[in-house]
Structure 1
């Protein structure tokens, strides 16, 4: 599953939003109507994981952390504490808990961004503030792609 796209949407008064059709189609084709939503670790956005992707990420994290190490257990707990289980309704919408909207400063408009096997949700206008200047982006891609050749 690989999501691609940058789509704006409106959140209704009940905090529901339609998952963009291209993303919804991919989710449904993969049998993924259950999703997990959590605040991103680094950015001020929300990340929507298909349940299977979430389970893989949690298993990967758990395999690297010891339940018997206080700090590592706290890190794991902090990763899952803000996670919310969501489900696509019959109309293709999700209900975003108000607490999650507040965590990412999202009000009535949201940008859905496909990022590999997850979908990010950004407050309108916030995504562009995090992007690297085009000339710097080109130089960084050049540097990264020329390493180890």
Structure 2
């Protein structure tokens, strides 16, 4: 299982290419050659970059869904909408497809933010707004999400 750490700012060129953070390259050195999958986020106006190994774990869960249940079929369609495979080029860059740049509102500056086992790709202004908007409620959210864990020793 991959546990990524860090938040990094990058510039995006007019074609949607950006230099992949050297810190993430080091963290992903074992899986970098396998490539990535990029997709729209379900809950936020950002993109999610999955190392192929992590994407395959998600797909194992998706494969268990019964496609003859309409809500499952609808979920799969929406979850995989716009999904693309990406590879780091010889210059160390990744290319964000145009339709995904439009979805995420990506223009010149992006933020690559670790989200446990994936990397979120945000337009810098949108990222800062989301972070600022959630600061007020973060203490309550942290308590609600993490405060009810029975075994506190597991977290320390």
TM-score scaled to structure 1, two decimals?
0.89
Establish whether residue 121 from structure 1 lines up as the match of residue 121 from structure 2.
yes
CA positional deviation for 1:29: 2.8
SS state at 2:15 partner: coil
Distance 1:97 1:143 in 2: 37
TM-score scaled to structure 2, two decimals?
0.85
SS state at 2:119 partner: strand
For the 8 Å contact 1:32–1:50, the answer to whether it is kept is no
CA-to-aligned-CA distance 1:47-81 (integer Å, 9 cap, x gap) = 00001101111221231x21222332122122112
Distance 2:149 2:15 in 1: 51
Which runs of 4 or more aligned residues in structure 1 lie more than 4 Å from their structure 2 counterparts after TM superposition?
A: none
SS state at 1:8 partner: strand
Gapped runs of 5+ residues in structure 2? Answer: 151-156
Partner of 2:96: 96
Distance 1:93 1:62 in 2: 31
RMSD over equivalenced CA pairs, Å: 1.7
For the 8 Å contact 1:114–1:120, the answer to whether it is kept is yes
CA positional deviation for 1:33: 4.0
Aligned residues: 147
Which is strand-richer, 1 or 2? 1
For the 8 Å contact 2:111–2:123, the answer to whether it is kept is yes
CA positional deviation for 1:31: 4.5
